[in-house]
């Protein structure tokens, strides 16, 4: 089996799974309980929080645990809207955001907020000057993802940060789900970024766990109220075992990245250059300003899902752009925003690599791809 769908989800790291199992078995207390068992659970919870904070070079008090990227995005957008509605009701997002952002913004628009959409160019990068033109006196939030999940375009967060330096009251949120462990942190967690969203299962942690970076001094309203957990900001009994495993997975991911900084980029470059030689292949991901783990391409006149299933028959697993929309047979919203013609957008598939993938797997993929390409060419 060759697994090239790591942007959809990653396999939990064995050491992270071990941490999850041991914590589940040994730590039975509720972190909010006053007795010793509760104290043990709370101690582990706070240790994991500090470990994650140290890995990101932020303060432990700036890490809040969630159930994943979708909750994190919802929390920042809705929490900002609730907290700052007296000061303004205008929100800016980009045209290539994950549905967790774009659909949340649409929901806010149905409830009296105004949403402006910053366009991207043919390269999939947000037009910073056009985004700047959208800023108004009543703008309360700008939300732009760090790395696009469909084509891998690394967004100009540093340039947007420079623009927003002149607007200190506007919240700046970055969906960093596809960036952590893949793209240097300085590119997406600048001193101007107020909130960033993360999901554990994108870096070999467990599913159903995530966290947000929340810069001190900023305010958002709670999305979940009740028991007062997470400093009274995110109620619900904490998933201690999942959080401990998340801290372990993040450390392992960043260590691997440090040991082999160019490994994934080398695989992608080899794959890119090989696919570019095919006459009927369109590569939608660029070479520069693109994340090292995502490559989006298609074969002319062959629908993406057809190629996905043909590869699956050979035990090679990829997806049609975003996994969140692939089962709905929805054409890539990112490619649409990049003005890619519909007949080409529907051919798109996404290969997403990981540190655990090998050059041998890439070469095997290319052998199978060549066979399928010839087969489809004969049919056409």
329 has a pLDDT exceeding 70: no
Please give the structure tokens belonging to residue 248: 């372990």
CATH code at 14-255: 3.40.640.10
Q: Is 100 exposed, middle or buried (0-12, 13-18, 19+ CB in 10 A)?
A: buried
pLDDT tens across 231-266, in order? 999 999 999 999 999 999 999 999 999 999 999 999
Give the pLDDT confidence score for residue 379 in this predicted structure: 82
The single residue of 37, 221, 254, 324 carrying the catalytic annotation is 324
Q: How many CA atoms lie within 13 A of 128 on its CB side?
A: 10
Tell me the whole-structure pTM to 2 decimals: 0.95
288 has a pLDDT exceeding 90: no
Give the pLDDT confidence score for residue 145 in this predicted structure: 98
Adjacency order of strands within the sheet including 114-118: 63-66, 210-214, 195-199, 171-175, 139-143, 90-94, 114-118
pLDDT tens across 71-130, in order? 999 999 999 999 999 999 999 999 999 999 999 999 999 999 999 999 999 999 999 999
Looking at domain 2-9+260-378, its CATH architecture is Alpha-Beta Complex (3.90)
Average pLDDT over residues 199-211: 98
321 has a pLDDT exceeding 90: no
Among the listed ranges 59-63, 93-97, 303-307, 325-329, which one has the minimum average pLDDT value? 325-329
Please give the structure tokens belonging to residue 277: 């030689």
- Sequence-ordered list of residues with C-beta below 8 angstroms from that of 342, at least 6 positions apart, any chain: 331, 336
pLDDT tens across 270-285, in order? 999 999 999 999 999 9
Give the pLDDT confidence score for residue 331 in this predicted structure: 62
Residue 65, SS3?
strand
Average pLDDT over residues 10-30: 97
pLDDT tens across 213-232, in order? 999 999 999 999 999 999 99
Please give the structure tokens belonging to residue 336: 């649409």
Please give the structure tokens belonging to residue 63: 């890490």
Answer whether 2-9+260-378 and 14-255 agree in fold: no
pLDDT tens across 131-164, in order? 999 999 999 999 999 999 999 999 999 999 999 9
Quickly state the pLDDT bin for 332 (edges 50, 70, 90).
Answer: confident
Residue 201, SS3?
helix
Residue-range domain boundaries for the chain: 2-9+260-378, 14-255
Tell me the average pLDDT of the chain: 96
Give the pLDDT confidence score for residue 326 in this predicted structure: 47
Q: Is 55 exposed, middle or buried (0-12, 13-18, 19+ CB in 10 A)?
A: middle
177: left (phi over 0), alpha (psi -120 to 50) or beta: alpha
324 catalytic residue (yes or no): yes
Adjacency order of strands within the sheet including 348-352: 281-283, 294-299, 348-352
């Amino acid at each position: 089996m060759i697994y090239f769908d790591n942007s959809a989800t990653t396999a939990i790291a064995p050491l992270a799974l071990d941490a999850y199992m041991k914590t589940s078995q040994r730590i039975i207390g509720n972190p909010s309980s006053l007795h010793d068992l509760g104290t043990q659970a709370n101690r582990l919870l706070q240790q994991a929080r500090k470990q994650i904070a140290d890995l990101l070079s932020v303060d432990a008090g700036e890490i809040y645990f969630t159930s994943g990227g979708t909750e994190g995005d919802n929390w920042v957008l809705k929490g900002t809207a609730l907290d700052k509605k007296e000061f303004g009701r205008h929100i800016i997002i980009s045209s290539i955001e994950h549905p967790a952002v774009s659909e949340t913004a649409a929901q806010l628009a149905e409830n009296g907020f105004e949403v402006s959409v910053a366009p991207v160019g043919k390269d999939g990068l947000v037009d910073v000057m056009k985004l700047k033109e959208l800023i108004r006196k009543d703008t309360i939030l700008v939300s732009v993802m760090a790395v696009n999940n469909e084509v891998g375009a690394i967004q100009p967060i540093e340039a947007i940060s420079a623009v927003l330096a002149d607007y200190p009251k506007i919240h700046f949120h970055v969906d960093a789900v596809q960036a952590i462990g893949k793209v240097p942190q300085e590119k997406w967690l600048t001193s101007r970024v107020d909130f960033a969203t993360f999901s554990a299962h994108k870096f070999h942690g467990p599913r159903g766990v995530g966290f947000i970076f929340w810069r001190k001094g900023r305010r958002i309203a709670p999305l979940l109220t009740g028991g007062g957990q997470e400093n009274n900001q995110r109620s619900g009994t904490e998933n201690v075992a999942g959080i401990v495993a998340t801290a372990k997975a993040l450390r392992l991911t960043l260590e691997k990245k440090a040991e082999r900084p160019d490994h994934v980029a080398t695989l992608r470059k080899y794959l890119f250059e090989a696919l570019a030689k095919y006459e009927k292949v369109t590569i939608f991901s660029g070479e520069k300003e693109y994340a090292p783990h995502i490559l989006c391409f298609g074969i002319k006149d062959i629908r993406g899902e057809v190629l996905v299933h043909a590869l699956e028959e050979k035990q090679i697993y990829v997806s049609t752009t975003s996994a969140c929309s692939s089962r709905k047979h929805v054409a890539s919203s990112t490619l649409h925003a990049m003005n890619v013609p519909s007949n080409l957008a529907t051919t798109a598939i996404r290969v997403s690599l990981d540190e655990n993938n090998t050059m041998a797997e890439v070469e095997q993929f290319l052998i199978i791809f060549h066979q399928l390409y010839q087969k489809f060419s004969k049919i056409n």
